[in-house]
Structure 1
Amino acid sequence: MNMLFEQQLRQPPEDAGVTRRTMTVTMPGAERKRRVVEEERLEIVDLSGISLNSLPNPNLNLTTICKLDLSNNNLQSIPESLIARLLNVVVLDVHSNQLKCLPHSIGCLGKLKTLNVSGNLIASLPKTLVDCRSLEELNVNFNKLMKLPDALGFELTNLKKLSVNSNKLIYLPHSISHLTNLRVLDARLNCLTSLPDDLENLIKLEVLNVSQNFHHLQTLPYSIGLLLSLVELDISYNGITTLPESIGCLKRLHKLCVDGNPLSSPPSLVFEQGLHAVKEYLSEKMNAGHQNSHKKKSWVGKLVRYGTFNGGYGYFRTTEPREDREAFMWSQYRSIDGLTSPRYTGMFSARRFFTTRGYFTR
């Protein structure tokens, strides 16, 4: 396929501060504009929606591209050599194609922040994806994934949004609990049978959607109630019968969707009274359970039983109009010694869970 590049120089506005050059890419049946910012010598290339079956090999300097949009075409593959030359790309969008896999050379994209491969036929992600350590948003919705790379959470620590809905995932890798910058996790419409036990490390997570896993997902981990930044939780259309009592601790939770579950606890009468009643019911049930801690199976109950925390704990009621109050308070706090490596300190620090200061800054 031949490309014809027509270059035109245009005078930028006086306040722009940079020289801008607009280049028109003329291709059979379509025209696309490519904007070049001379100051940084980086280009935005848009080749979306032009019925491409394969990519040409133009004599271009691909290292000058910061955003490449190849979405809404008929691409079945992307050359390894092409991806390897996109050393300065920040955004790569290949959604709505016919891709069955991603090139292994994607690990060369050290500056990549946004990757959208949704709406393809991808059955597995290359292990080299975890080398894209600048990645902040990963969208692999509507593919055929059965699992994610095991090391995903250990390496992609800058990830803020992970969208994996409408796949065939049976589980999420345990390393996901190390994504301490993650704010949105969308894993609906999969075949998830469980969630990782140590979700409490996702200290910035605001939105969690694990709806429509249907009969596959029947329980939620106790740690889901320790996601202190959580604002929205959608667990609708699963096989869940009981909500973890720890959900009563989620003081920032404003939206809880539970439709389509065979829930017996809390009872339907409580749900009819709204979210506040649900949280109060669960918190009171948790307090009652902690008074008989020998019946508790959660690690929080064990910490209390073995004296890591002194004093009792109860529902904290106050007339002070302070939004940063925790729903529960723990008196006479005593820190846990040991396990002080950077990787595990956040995991075992009780101060993070029960301090009266919020850890997420909007």
Structure 2
Amino acid sequence: MAVMSKQDPSPALVETVQEIMRLYRSLPPRPSIEEVEAAKCVLQTVENEEKLKLEEISKEQAAEDVPEELFSVLQQVRKTMVLFQSHEQKKEALYLVEADKMFETFDGLIQRASLLVSGDTQDEKVITFGEQVRKFERESLISDDSLVKRKEDGGELNKDDAKGIGRSSSTKASFFSGEDSSEKLNLMKTAALIENTARSGAIVLDLRGKLMDQMEWLPLSIGKLKDVSELDLSENRIMALPPSIGGLQALTKLDVHSNQLINLPDSVGELVNLIELDLHANWLKSLPASFGNLTNLVNLDLSSNGFTHLPETIGNLASLKRLNVETNDLEELPYTIGNCSSLLELRLDFNQIKALPEAIGKLECLEILTAHYNRLKGLPTTMGNLSNLKELDVSFNEIESIPENLCFAVSIKKLNVGKNFADLRALPRSIGNLEMLEELDISDDQIRNLPDSFGLLSKLRVFRADETPLEVPPREVIKLGAQAVVQFMADLVAKRDTKSPPAKKKKKGFWFRICSIFWHFRTANARTM
């Protein structure tokens, strides 16, 4: 190494030093550590996505009437489009990674210049150069200390990529995307946000409707969000969650509704602290076997998907209180549903269910059961065990009869058995046991007479019987309201009792009926012997 003279520096030397300073200062801001990490993650994510898409295209089969060569051209076009899209997604990430490498080169050159100058001369201008270089290096990098300080001060952590996404909370920083900007995030900015969130210890990340439509995959780095307890990814176009999602061990609430999810990774079963999971309005048809590990789950929404069945492991969810599987293609429920002993609400509307399992009677905490618009032909007798049931809706089915046992579920306040059309012809005789009943709908059924015990429904406030050919009570009474119907039935039974025959004949008739029962019983036994 050449040693500089300790004499006064020449004008040419000073000019050289100043030129180095000028060039160094003209550089754009150096990418932060978070940006570089995010860029590397984006490259890995895009490459994985590209590989999977190319494999899917290669597996496609041509239709019978499409020439093989023409179909091959179509495949090549699709593959080229995938490569083009990947190239576009990589642009910003590649720039940041390459820029970081160039800055490393500049660092080495500046360090050499600093050593050559500041170590061998006392010239004031040269010393100033060394000090300014070191100051510039300190300001261009974000240290861990500055991150901690900003977090404690409640300030924002990322001035460019987050664009107002940062927000402090009483304990830790939380990120809410797009709070001050309607701009949607691309893959690079999403990855940068994830890096910032992970470093800050944020507990909430809200990306609802904030991802660009082209973003079908999340960065693999999402697994770094170790401290996040609430994650909202809803109303985007995500097609798959990365396996790294299982790393979010602190997660208690995950909302992914209104996306394009086709399946869930097995690693979702590692989210053992999850309490709320919203997956409605996706393209899911099945759940992974590991789903049964989510034993702390309280609220689960699987509605508006393509499920044809639920896994047996659903019975492992002993903490589950609300299960919504509306608008799917379910034909049955697993028997293990009876093990969901904490269940309060079960919503089964708009499916193809033909029968409810007997195990449904084990759900003693159940308060709401809706099975509107299915293919039910009856109800299990075990439903009489549902002592806390308050609302039951089995309208728009093919129910032919309602079991008498249902009337043991005396807490029912709202009962809808309407729209069973030609199938349902009678209410259970002991319906009067439902003393808490406030609303009853039997519209569009074929019921002609209400049972005598109907007069005991003293709390009934709403009674709907539109298009039902009731004869008792007459239509004029029904128009007067629910309590008018109740009173009519009570009076009818009372009048009938006053017109009963003398006690002696009544007694004879009683014994005659008893003998008839025994006679039929003996006849039946004789036939079976």
Per the normalisation by structure 1, the TM-score is 0.72
In 2, are the aligned partners of 1:199 and 1:227 still within 8 Å (CA)?
Answer: no
Could you tell me how far 1:235 is from its partner in structure 2? 0.6
Could you tell me how far 1:151 is from its partner in structure 2? 2.3
Could you tell me how far 1:253 is from its partner in structure 2? 0.5
Match for residue 55 of structure 1 among 233, 246, 264: 264
Does residue 239 in structure 1 map to residue 421 in structure 2?
Answer: no
In structure 1, how many angstroms separate the alpha carbons of the residues matched to 2:409 and 2:500?
A: 26
Could you tell me how far 1:29 is from its partner in structure 2? 4.5
Does residue 161 in structure 1 map to residue 368 in structure 2?
Answer: yes
**Structure-2 change in CA distance of 1:35 and 1:162 (3 Å):** farther
SS at match of 1:222: coil
1:336 corresponds to: none
Does residue 36 in structure 1 map to residue 252 in structure 2?
Answer: no
Match for residue 278 of structure 2 among 52, 59, 69: 69
Could you tell me how far 1:101 is from its partner in structure 2? 0.4
In structure 1, how many angstroms separate the alpha carbons of the residues matched to 2:293 and 2:439?
A: 40
In structure 2, how many angstroms separate the alpha carbons of the residues matched to 1:8 and 1:87?
A: 33
In 2, are the aligned partners of 1:199 and 1:223 still within 8 Å (CA)?
Answer: no
Does residue 289 in structure 1 map to residue 289 in structure 2?
Answer: no
Question: Which one has more relative contact order, counting CA pairs under 8 Å at least 6 apart?
Answer: 1
2:170 corresponds to: 12
In 1, are the aligned partners of 2:460 and 2:483 still within 8 Å (CA)?
Answer: no
In structure 2, how many angstroms separate the alpha carbons of the residues matched to 1:113 and 1:143?
A: 21
Q: How does 1:340-351 map to 2 (within 5 A)?
A: none
In structure 2, how many angstroms separate the alpha carbons of the residues matched to 1:87 and 1:266?
A: 51
- Opposite residue 36 of structure 1, the aligned amino acid is S
Q: How does 1:200-215 map to 2 (within 5 A)?
A: 200-215=407-422
In structure 2, how many angstroms separate the alpha carbons of the residues matched to 1:72 and 1:133?
A: 27
In 2, are the aligned partners of 1:53 and 1:76 still within 8 Å (CA)?
Answer: yes
In structure 1, how many angstroms separate the alpha carbons of the residues matched to 2:228 and 2:394?
A: 36
**Structure-2 change in CA distance of 1:256 and 1:60 (3 Å):** closer
Could you tell me how far 1:277 is from its partner in structure 2? 2.7
Per the normalisation by structure 2, the TM-score is 0.50
SS at match of 1:198: helix
**Structure-2 change in CA distance of 1:12 and 1:195 (3 Å):** same
Could you tell me how far 1:51 is from its partner in structure 2? 0.9
- Opposite residue 125 of structure 1, the aligned amino acid is L
Could you tell me how far 1:172 is from its partner in structure 2? 0.4
Does residue 104 in structure 1 map to residue 312 in structure 2?
Answer: yes
2:297 corresponds to: 89
In 2, are the aligned partners of 1:30 and 1:50 still within 8 Å (CA)?
Answer: no
In 2, are the aligned partners of 1:29 and 1:50 still within 8 Å (CA)?
Answer: no
Match for residue 130 of structure 1 among 323, 338, 341: 338
Match for residue 21 of structure 1 among 194, 203, 209: 203
**Structure-2 change in CA distance of 1:288 and 1:123 (3 Å):** same
In 2, are the aligned partners of 1:12 and 1:20 still within 8 Å (CA)?
Answer: no
Could you tell me how far 1:274 is from its partner in structure 2? 3.2
Higher helix fraction: Structure 1 or Structure 2?
2
In structure 2, how many angstroms separate the alpha carbons of the residues matched to 1:9 and 1:108?
A: 38
**Structure-2 change in CA distance of 1:137 and 1:60 (3 Å):** closer
Which residues of structure 1 form unaligned runs of 5+? Answer: 295-301, 307-362
2:519 corresponds to: none
Could you tell me how far 1:225 is from its partner in structure 2? 1.8
Could you tell me how far 1:12 is from its partner in structure 2? 2.5
User: What is the percent sequence identity of the aligned residues?
Assistant: 35
1:45 corresponds to: 254
Q: How does 1:143-182 map to 2 (within 5 A)?
A: 143-153=351-361, 155-182=362-389
Higher strand fraction: Structure 1 or Structure 2?
1
SS at match of 2:418: coil
SS at match of 1:138: strand
SS at match of 2:275: strand
Aligned-pair Cα RMSD in Å: 3.2
- Opposite residue 229 of structure 2, the aligned amino acid is V
Could you tell me how far 1:85 is from its partner in structure 2? 1.7
**What CA deviation, in whole Å up to 9, does each residue of 1:69-125 have, x standing for no partner?**
1110011111122x1121110011100000110011011101000000110001011
**What CA deviation, in whole Å up to 9, does each residue of 1:311-347 have, x standing for no partner?**
xxxxxxxxxxxxxxxxxxxxxxxxxxxxxxxxxxxxx
- Opposite residue 240 of structure 1, the aligned amino acid is I
In structure 1, how many angstroms separate the alpha carbons of the residues matched to 2:365 and 2:500?
A: 38
In 1, are the aligned partners of 2:439 and 2:462 still within 8 Å (CA)?
Answer: yes
In structure 2, how many angstroms separate the alpha carbons of the residues matched to 1:267 and 1:253?
A: 18
**What CA deviation, in whole Å up to 9, does each residue of 1:25-84 have, x standing for no partner?**
7793588999617xx955110011111111134477310100111110011111122x11
In structure 2, how many angstroms separate the alpha carbons of the residues matched to 1:203 and 1:69?
A: 32
In 2, are the aligned partners of 1:167 and 1:190 still within 8 Å (CA)?
Answer: yes
**Structure-2 change in CA distance of 1:41 and 1:273 (3 Å):** same
Q: How does 1:319-338 map to 2 (within 5 A)?
A: none
In structure 2, how many angstroms separate the alpha carbons of the residues matched to 1:140 and 1:276?
A: 31
Match for residue 401 of structure 2 among 178, 184, 194: 194
In 2, are the aligned partners of 1:21 and 1:35 still within 8 Å (CA)?
Answer: yes
In structure 1, how many angstroms separate the alpha carbons of the residues matched to 2:427 and 2:228?
A: 48
Q: How does 1:238-277 map to 2 (within 5 A)?
A: 238-277=445-484
In structure 2, how many angstroms separate the alpha carbons of the residues matched to 1:204 and 1:141?
A: 22
**What CA deviation, in whole Å up to 9, does each residue of 1:2-45 have, x standing for no partner?**
89xx997842289xxxx9711357793588999617xx955110
Could you tell me how far 1:292 is from its partner in structure 2? 6.6
**Structure-2 change in CA distance of 1:149 and 1:85 (3 Å):** same
Which residues of structure 2 form unaligned runs of 5+? Answer: 1-44, 50-161, 173-200, 231-248, 502-506, 512-529
In 1, are the aligned partners of 2:266 and 2:289 still within 8 Å (CA)?
Answer: no
**Structure-2 change in CA distance of 1:274 and 1:127 (3 Å):** closer
In structure 1, how many angstroms separate the alpha carbons of the residues matched to 2:346 and 2:228?
A: 25
2:107 corresponds to: none
Q: Say how many residue pairs are matched.
A: 287
